[in-house]
């Protein structure tokens, strides 16, 4: 596979006409998305933008009415599928969280996999999530809609490791999530385990952020990062729109929601950061990439097998030893 690093253009700025075009392109795209969401979620999203709204309350309403965020076993399902994939295909050993320091990048509005890490005995867990709302997990609406059901899911998956009251207390004591991006993380520990699910593709300054990550990661840390290289809109046509235009034009039309790096770019960025990660391609539907009328930018800079990677895992390869014991 070609590993040709591609520079990411900075977001357009300073040109009023281009900014107006961007706003219009994004507006029509957003209006289409709104049609697919539950009405209460749309109401919360509108309320969030009103200058007089109580930002925290509307953000909580937004989370409570989001069927995706509320699904109690969604992220655990992803984690287990990814881990099994690496166990079967890459000789991985399942991660043992007991006594470990864990860092999650972009856990999402409800703390993502970090809750599982606490449940499974992690010593300290730190997340970086730009959209984080402080104290969200102790909000009564969120407790009912998510935290209790999630505790049930974790107990069914891993056994009755702790009752709900202990889980809630441990989250308060051991989990900290800061509303910042990865480049501004301050975990206060060297992470033994670093996780992310569908997040690295959203980080605009990924090469710099990965270089920063090395500074708060233990030398023998275990990483598992699932990256989704599709357009995040259409499962049937994951590369449509992306490969039809150069990156600058895509950002004008759809916004900077994804960084448009390809699988080889993320691998190269992790290698130059010194993270020592391997890449396992999970899903590579070549026919879906070939179905797109490729703009020369993509044809000239990438091989088809790179363009066809929809999802890949970036992970720490196992050495011959098993996991080192807690000192
Ligand atoms: C597609 S969501 C995934 C959330 C969650 N991991 C999941 O799988 O549901 C991507 C997440 O990355 C977060 N994110 C964006 N830029 C980030 C950054 N620079 N550092 C950390 N997280 C970031 C977003 O706020 C968002 O919650």
Q: Where are the domains of the chain?
A: 14-53, 70-315
Residue 238 CA, ligand 1 centroid: distance in Å: 19
> Ligand 1 atom closest to Cα of 130?
25
Residue 197 CA, ligand 1 centroid: distance in Å: 8
Residue 91 CA, ligand 1 centroid: distance in Å: 28
Residue 225 CA, ligand 1 centroid: distance in Å: 12
The structure's pTM equals 0.86
> Ligand 1 atom closest to Cα of 69?
9
Residue nearest to atom 1 of ligand 1 (CA): 198
Sign of CA dihedral 266, 99, 116, 109: negative
**Locate tokens 């809109």: which residue?**
233
> Which of 130, 146, 150 has most ligand 1 atoms within 8 Å of its beta carbon, as the pocket-test mutant?
130
**φ/ψ (deg, to 5) at 18:** -65, -40
What is the tens place of the pLDDT at every residue in 276-310?
Answer: 999 999 999 999 999 999 999 999 999 999 999 99
Please state which CATH number belongs to domain 70-315: 3.40.50.150
The radius of gyration of the chain's CA atoms, rounded to the nearest angstrom, is 20
pLDDT at 1: 41
280: left (phi over 0), alpha (psi -120 to 50) or beta: beta
Residue 22 structure tokens: 């961007």
Residue 238 structure tokens: 């994951």
107 lines ligand 1 (CB under 6 A): yes
Residue 304 structure tokens: 């088809």
Residue 151 CA, ligand 1 centroid: distance in Å: 22
Mean pLDDT of 231-235: 95
Residue 205 CA, ligand 1 centroid: distance in Å: 13
Mean pLDDT of 212-226: 97
259 lines ligand 1 (CB under 6 A): no
Residue nearest to atom 20 of ligand 1 (CA): 181
pLDDT at 16: 29
Residue 177 CA, ligand 1 centroid: distance in Å: 12
Residue 234 structure tokens: 């259409």
Residue 218 structure tokens: 């233990």
What is the tens place of the pLDDT at every residue in 10-26?
Answer: 222 223 233 344 445 55
204 lines ligand 1 (CB under 6 A): no
Task: Give me the percent of the chain exceeding a pLDDT of 90.
Answer: 76
What is the tens place of the pLDDT at every residue in 250-277?
Answer: 999 999 999 999 999 999 999 999 999 9
pLDDT at 19: 36
Lowest-confidence pick of 5-14, 125-134, 152-161: 5-14
How far is Cα of residue 31 from the mean position of the Cα atoms in its chain?
24
116: left (phi over 0), alpha (psi -120 to 50) or beta: alpha
What is the tens place of the pLDDT at every residue in 37-94?
Answer: 777 778 777 777 777 778 788 888 888 889 888 899 999 999 999 999 999 999 999 9
**Beta strand residue intervals within 171-294, DSSP E:** 175-178, 191-197, 217-228, 278-283
């Amino acid at each position: 596979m070609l590993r040709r690093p591609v520079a990411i253009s900075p977001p357009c700025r300073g040109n009023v006409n281009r900014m107006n075009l961007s706003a219009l392109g994004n507006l029509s795209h957003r209006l289409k998305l709104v049609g697919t969401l539950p009405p209460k979620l749309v109401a919360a999203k509108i309320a969030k933008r009103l200058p007089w709204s109580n930002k925290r309350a509307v953000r909580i309403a937004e989370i409570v009415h989001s069927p995706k965020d509320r699904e109690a076993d969604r992220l655990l399902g992803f984690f287990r599928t990814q881990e099994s994939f690496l166990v079967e295909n890459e000789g991985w050993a399942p991660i043992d969280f007991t006594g470990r320091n864990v860092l999650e990048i972009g856990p999402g509005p409800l703390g993502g996999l970090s809750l599982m890490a606490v449940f499974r005995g992690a010593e300290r867990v730190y997340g970086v999530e730009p959209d984080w709302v402080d104290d969200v997990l102790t909000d009564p609406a969120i407790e009912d809609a998510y935290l209790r059901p999630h505790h049930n899911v974790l107990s069914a998956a891993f056994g009755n490791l702790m009752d709900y009251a202990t889980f809630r207390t441990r989250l308060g004591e051991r989990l900290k999530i800061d509303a910042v991006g990865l480049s501004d993380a301050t975990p206060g520990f060297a992470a033994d385990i670093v996780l992310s699910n569908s997040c690295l593709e959203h980080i605009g300054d990924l090469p710099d952020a990965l270089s920063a990550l090395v500074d708060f990661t233990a030398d023998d840390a275990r990483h598992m990062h699932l990256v989704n290289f599709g357009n995040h809109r259409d499962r049937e046509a994951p590369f449509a729109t992306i490969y039809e235009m150069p990156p600058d034009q895509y950002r004008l039309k759809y916004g900077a929601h994804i960084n448009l790096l390809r699988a080889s770019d993320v691998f190269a960025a992790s290698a130059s950061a010194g993270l020592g990660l391997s890449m396992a391609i999970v899903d590579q539907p070549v026919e879906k990439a070939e179905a797109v009328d490729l703009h020369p930018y993509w044809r000239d800079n990438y091989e088809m097998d790179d363009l066809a990677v929809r999802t890949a895992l970036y992970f720490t390869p196992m050495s011959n030893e098993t996991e080192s014991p807690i000192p």
